[in-house]
Every structure is written in C-alpha cells, then in structure tokens.
Amino acid sequence: MVKNIKTLGNSAFEWLDIHNPADKELQEVARKYKLHEALVRDCLQPDHLPKFERMDRYAFLIFRIYAEEEKMDADTIREMTHKIAVFFSETFIITIHNRSFPFLDNFMEAVPALSCPHSADLLNLLVNECLNTFEAPLVKLSKAVDYYEEVIFLREKKAPLLRGMYYLRRKIDLLRRMLILSYDIIDAIDNENGNVSTRDTRDHYVKLQSMFDTLQENVHQLLAIYFSVSSQRTNETIRILTIFSVFFMPLTFIVGVYGMNFDFMPELRWRGGYPLVLLLMLTVIIVIYLWFKKKKWL
C-alpha cells in the first residue's frame, strides 16, 4: 500500500510511505523516481543488515528497529528486529516496510505539526524515532542483568539460569551489532552540514551504543562469575567429600586388618578386643578432627 504522508507544496519534498508493497506497486514507484534496481531488491530482503549508500540523485539507507513482540528465546536478526528501507533526496522521502509499526503511525500523525523545511530534517527525526525503539529493550535488558546478578550472588542456583543468560547475551550482542552497523547512517545525517537537531540524534545514538556496550561487559562478567561460583561450589563439595574420606580411610584400614581372619591374630580371641577396636576407631576420629580444626580446614 502506497501512502502519501506529506507534501509541502512548492517548497520542498513529498513523503511516500509504502507498507507491505506488492511487486507491481514497488516497480511503479521505482520507475517514477528512477530508483536503482539492486537497491529495490534490498528493500525486499527481510534480514538485510543496516546500510547506507549514496547515489547521484538520492541516498538509500536500511535501518533496523527493535521488534516489540520478540519472544523470550529470540536470538536472530529477523526475530528481534524489523527493517525499514528509506530512499531520500531533496525532493522526496520514500519509506518501505513490510509490517505496520505503532511508533511510525504516531510519527506520521505528528508530522504536520513538526517543523521540517527540508527532507534532511524529516529524515533526522525519523532516524531518531527508530533509535527510540531501542530504549525499551535497553531498560528491559538492564533489569534482566540486575536479576541474574542477584540470582548468582544471593539465591540458590537453578538449571534454567544459564539458558536465560545465554539468550540475554545473544540479545544484547545482536542489538549492539545493529547499532554499530547503523553508524554510517548517523554519520551521513550529522555531517558537516549538520545542525543542533542532527547532533542530538548523534548524541542519542552514542548514548544507546554506550549503554549496550556496558550491558555487554556486565553480561560477560556475570557469565565469568557464574562459572567461577559454580566451580567454587564444586570445589566445596569435593572438599567436604575429601574430609569425609579422610575420616573413614583409617577406619577402613583397621576394619580391613581385622577382617583377614588369620589363625595367628591374638586380638581376634581377646574378650575385650571388640570394644578396644571401637575405642581405637573413636580415638582416630578425634585425632583427625582436632588436627583439621588446628589447620582450620573445618
């Protein structure tokens, strides 16, 4: 569906928003505005990465936005982000996307009240709105990092913990990579002809990138701490089992000696042999216990 959002009379540009286009509609728009065939094909690829290309008469960019309906175990580009393709020049802006986005619908309604004398101004506002879609997952992922940090340090460990941290790390890495690949778009908007508005967009981008970098470092540290704590718990278990084995090794030796039943073992025929062996075992346990306490192993 092709929708004309804004026409500014004789002064500047028009904005065409194309939602879930049919091949025929897209080809008609491409012929009218003389769009390159390869770039039009890029618009149809659902998992295309962010890019920016400047042609003779216009520029082309692909921006990926966060998918609001992403699943708990989503960890791919197509599951976590959606694509918006934009052709723009001084006389037109064409946005192409396969699905409807609430933030874009709200932006379209607000456009008449915005001051956009040039297409570059509208493009800057549009990219800023796209960046805003990363704010919500940033807050959500930050809370998730805090939750896993609390679980690792303060709660009993459970099996799903590592699986959840895996998906958390994947999401942060993927969204961070989308922002890194979008740098050329931001740099093209805030160039030597930039203004206060474009610099705000760059600042917004830098803030998001810094926050995702911090989240990535925190998650990697959490994973390292998780494995360290798990290793420490394993070592603690082995230590306890070792202590138990040290107590029982001499007792097993004593029992083994008197279990051989040789004819010439006078202790076997002593009337007090049984209580004496028990007393010997108790003495050995007490000596080992006192030794461990002195070494502070208990």
Domain extents for the chain? 2-231, 240-295
Write down the pLDDT at residue 85: 92
Class of domain 240-295: mainly alpha
- Write down the CATH number for the domain with range 2-231: 3.30.460.20
Which percentage of the chain shows pLDDT scores above 90? Answer: 3
3-state secondary structure of 285: helix
**Residues 129-180 pLDDT 10s:** 899 888 888 888 888 888 777 777 666 655 577 777 778 888 888 888 888 8
- Check residue 9 and give its pLDDT: 47
Whole-structure pTM over 0.85, yes or no? no
Overall average pLDDT of the 204-229 stretch: 85
Which residue type is seen at 39?
L
Structure-token pair, residue 151: 């679980």
Q: Is the pLDDT of residue 214 over 50?
A: yes
Per mean pLDDT, which range of 11-15, 26-30, 211-215 is the poorest? 11-15
**Is the separation of the CB atoms in 114 and 95 below 8 Å?**
no
Chain CA centroid to CA 251, Å: 54
pLDDT category, 114, cuts 50, 70, 90? low
Q: Give the Cα separation of 212 and 209 in Å (integer).
A: 5
Which SS3 state, helix, strand or coil, does residue 58 take?
coil
Helix count (H) and strand count (E) of the chain? Answer: 10, 6
Name the pLDDT band for 10 (thresholds 50, 70, 90).
very low
**Confidence check: pLDDT of 87 > 90:** yes
As a three-state string, the secondary structure of 123-136 is: HHHHHHHHHHCCHH
Extract long-range pairs of 46-52: CB within 8 Å, 24+ residues apart. 46/78, 46/83, 46/98, 47/77, 47/78, 47/83, 48/83, 49/77, 49/178, 49/181, 50/178, 50/181, 50/182, 50/184, 50/185, 51/181, 51/184, 52/184, 52/185, 52/188
Q: Looking at residue 174, what is its pLDDT?
A: 86
Residue pLDDT, tens place only, 233-287: 777 778 788 888 888 888 888 888 877 777 777 777 777 778 888 888 888 888 8
Q: Which of 75, 67, 64 is nearest to 169 (CA)?
A: 75
| Residue 238 or residue 194, greater confidence | 238
Q: Hey, what are 268's tokens?
A: 């076997």
User: Do residues 257 and 268 make contact, with C-beta atoms less than 8 angstroms apart?
Assistant: no
Structure tokens at 207: 């803030």
Place of tokens 């039009």: 40
